[in-house]
Amino acid sequence: MATFEVQNATFEVDVRESFAHLTLMHTIGGRLLRVAPGEVDIELPFREDLTQHHGFLAAAVLTVEYKANFLAPAQGDRMVAQARVLRPGRTVTVCAGDVYAVTGQERKLAATMLATIMGVRAPQTVPPAEREAREPRPLHGHGPSSARRRPWCVCRGGGLRHALRGLAGIRD
């Protein structure tokens, strides 16, 4: 594995501060355990309200591209995700991660993933009047019929539910 050169001496503080502002992590109870150059460990206690219909932990990732292998049911006292940067880039970065189901001292590999993510800079402060003038118009006609114009749209071909069921290997 390639070593990751730290570009910012305060990277750990910056990562922890950024993570602290992730509302989703607060909502689901995610906790940042470890931060190292190019790596993070995140813990998520098991909660029934975060499971899908078979009682396994459910998750979704929005990114440029990803491949996930679900190797075992995500069942345990808690989940621990270990992620690492394989190739940092100015705009696009390739990462890998593993999710372990932990019960007591036993760790079981539940999933492994390879992802390509895109860095997005925080928006600069813009005066309210100028911000209103810049705000994008809402998308109209979003859905299966407009998906023909947007081939990337998951709405095409039966909707998001169908797409997710297909990814999970569930046949209708």
**Domains assigned to the chain:** 1-122 (3.10.129.10), 123-172 (no CATH)
Please report the pLDDT score of residue 137 as a whole number: 46
Distance (Å, whole) CA 52 – CA 42: 21
Residue type, 89: G
CA distance 16 to 31: 10
Q: How far apart are CA 47 and CA 57, in angstroms?
A: 8
Name the amino acid, one letter, at 54.
H
108 pLDDT above the threshold of 90: yes
What is the reported pLDDT for 56? 74
What are the pLDDT digits (tens) for 20-53?
999 989 999 999 999 999 899 999 999 989 887 7
Average pLDDT for the chain: 77
Report which of residues 52 and 59 the model is more confident about: 52
Dump pLDDT digits (tens) for 64-74.
888 999 999 98
What is the total residue count of the chain?
Answer: 172
Q: What is the mean pLDDT of residues 75-91?
A: 92
C-alpha torsion 153→118→84→50, nearest 10: -40
Residue 135 has pLDDT above 70, yes or no: no
Check pLDDT > 90 for residue 94: yes
